[in-house]
Amino acid sequence: MAEETKKKHEEKPLEKLTVKDLREIAMEIPHSKAVHDMKKEELVAFIKEARGIKDETPIKKHHKAVKIKMTKAELKAKIRELKVLKSQALEAKETAKAAELRLRISRLKKKTRIVAAV
């Protein structure tokens, strides 16, 4: 059974394996670090370092977008602008653009309710 899991691990790239599988692989490598405390990126980096694999692509970290706070009045003004654009898109028979604008308007309306509650 251990041979089956080894074959399964070798077929997939490390980034595609689960954390549980990565921990099993890392436990087989002699180390002085606590494998169970590592996150997935750390496990992948540790295994690659132990196997001597060089990273072609750097690990990308997700950066959270900075949210711009808008007042309720600003949100409503933006909604009015989008409604005008939506009506223009409908007149020009651009249904995809109109649907996108409808979703944006809906999201902004939800934000106005959230701003009002706070």
Residue range 29-50, pLDDT digits in tens: 877 677 778 888 888 888 888 8
Characterise 52 by phi-psi region: left (phi > 0), alpha (psi -120 to 50), beta (else): left
User: Above 70 in pLDDT, residue 118?
Assistant: no
Q: Is the pTM of this model over 0.85?
A: no
**pLDDT class of 103 with cuts at 50, 70, 90:** very high
Helix (H) or strand (E) run with residue 48 in it: helix 40-51
Coil, helix or strand at residue 63: coil
User: Above 60 in pLDDT, residue 28?
Assistant: yes
8 Å CB contact between 44 and 15: yes
What type of residue sits at position 82?
L
What type of residue sits at position 77?
A
User: Above 60 in pLDDT, residue 76?
Assistant: yes
Determine which of 29-38, 70-79, 99-108 has the lowest per-residue pLDDT on average. Answer: 29-38
Coil, helix or strand at residue 47: helix
Residue with the bigger pLDDT between 55 and 3: it is: 55
Of 24, 31, 1, which is closest to residue 14 (Cα–Cα)? 24
Cα separation, 5 vs 25, in Å, equals 10
Of 104, 86, 103, which is closest to residue 95 (Cα–Cα)? 86
